[in-house]
Amino acid sequence: MEKTLPHTGVPSNQCASTNKTHCASCSLNTLCLPLSLSKNDTELLDRIVKRSRPIHKGDYVFKQGEPFRSLFAIRTGSVKNFTIRSDGEEQITGFHLASELIGLSGFNDVEYPESAVALETTTVCELPIDQLDHLSDSMPNLRKQVLSSMGQEIRHDQQLLLMLSKKTADERIAFFILNLGRRFQRRGYSAKSFRLSMSRIDIANHLGMAVETVSRVFTRFQKAGYVQAEGKEIVICDPDALSRMSGESQDTPCTI
């Protein structure tokens, strides 16, 4: 149903050496932590990476309240991050795709302040924080890369903040779809045609609106010819219209 995983079927576990995948050969190494590392450094990083078997839809990558021990890089699939609010409600703080680093918000905390669960069958690379830290001593570039990822995460959150604090339902959905498309594009997929791995409920939760509203906006967009939405399959027909709607600058044409 989902695109097939690179996983071999061999019951590999934990140790990188039991698994075919290595950072050096990973298709994501230009997007992920090895980005600015030398061949040698990449190999050192590779050694501390724990690659576990695929986790299934609904499984936890890490759970709010667990001791903060590792960062995780998503190899395939996607996850949603969320916190449980005091009133018991789940609040989705973000969706993450392949090559993205998750768990960063745990820094400075003894435990994970949020949970991450797989939205589909997903494989992750685990980076134990103490080893990563130790490795950082001798690899300034790795250090920079981690800081970099955190800076990115902060900017991402602030962009979201920016959106949630002002925008209407239409603007939020337009932005959300475009943003997802761009992220797929960076990973070599089509920016205009993709599959939403998250439910409407999750989208609604994340964007701070009612499910009904999400549904209505999708329908409206479809009627207007901006997108073609059939269940989770999305085709963006008029990216410029969406870009205009999302409140992005009118002067620069849409990047997808």
Partner DNA sequence: CGTCTACTTGACCACTATCAACGCTGGTGG
Partner DNA sequence: CCACCAGCGTTGATAGTGGTCAAGTAGACG
Task: Work out what residue 200 binds among its own copies, DNA, none; the CB cut-off runs from 5 to 8 Å by kind.
Answer: DNA
Query: How far apart, in Å, are the Cα atoms of 25 and each of 28, 30, 93, 255?
Result: 9, 11, 31, 30
222 binds its own copies (CB under 8 A): no
SS3 29: coil
Structural contact between residues 92 and 24, judged by C-beta atoms closer than 8 angstroms:
no
Count of other CB atoms within 10 angstroms of residue 96: 24
Q: Which of 41, 46, 100, 114 binds its own copies (CB under 8 A)?
A: 114
Helices (H), the chain: 39-48, 129-138, 140-166, 169-186, 200-207, 211-224, 239-245
Tokens of residue 240, six digits: 């410029």
Q: How far is the CB of 178 from its own copies (least distance, A)?
A: 13
Task: Work out what residue 169 binds among its own copies, DNA, none; the CB cut-off runs from 5 to 8 Å by kind.
Answer: DNA
Q: Which of 12, 136, 213, 222 binds its own copies (CB under 8 A)?
A: 136
At residue 93's C-alpha, the angle toward residues 87 and 99, to 5°, is 150
143 binds its own copies (CB under 8 A): yes
Task: Work out what residue 218 binds among DNA, its own copies, none; the CB cut-off runs from 5 to 8 Å by kind.
Answer: DNA
Q: How far is the CB of 91 from DNA (least distance, A)?
A: 14
Task: Work out what residue 162 binds among DNA, its own copies, none; the CB cut-off runs from 5 to 8 Å by kind.
Answer: its own copies
Of 224, 250, 248, which Cα lies nearest the Cα of 236? 224
Q: Which of 127, 196, 207, 227 binds its own copies (CB under 8 A)?
A: 207
Task: Work out what residue 143 binds among its own copies, DNA, none; the CB cut-off runs from 5 to 8 Å by kind.
Answer: its own copies
Please say which residue, 45 or 121, places its beta carbon nearer to its own copies.
45
| Residue 176 main-chain phi, psi, to 5 deg | -60, -45
**Binding footprint of DNA on the chain (CB under 7 A):** 168-170, 199-201, 208-216, 218-219, 229, 231-232
At residue 162's C-alpha, the angle toward residues 145 and 190, to 5°, is 60
Torsion of CA 217, 223, 227, 232, to 10 degrees: 60
65 binds its own copies (CB under 8 A): no
Q: Which of 7, 53, 144, 192 binds its own copies (CB under 8 A)?
A: 144
54 binds its own copies (CB under 8 A): no
Match 């149903």 to its residue by tokens. 1
In this structure, the chain runs to a length of: 256
Question: Can you give the binding site for its own copies, defined by CB under 8 A?
Answer: 83, 85-87, 89, 91, 93, 104-109, 113-114, 133, 136-137, 140, 143-144, 146-155, 157-158, 160-162, 164-166, 205-208, 247-250
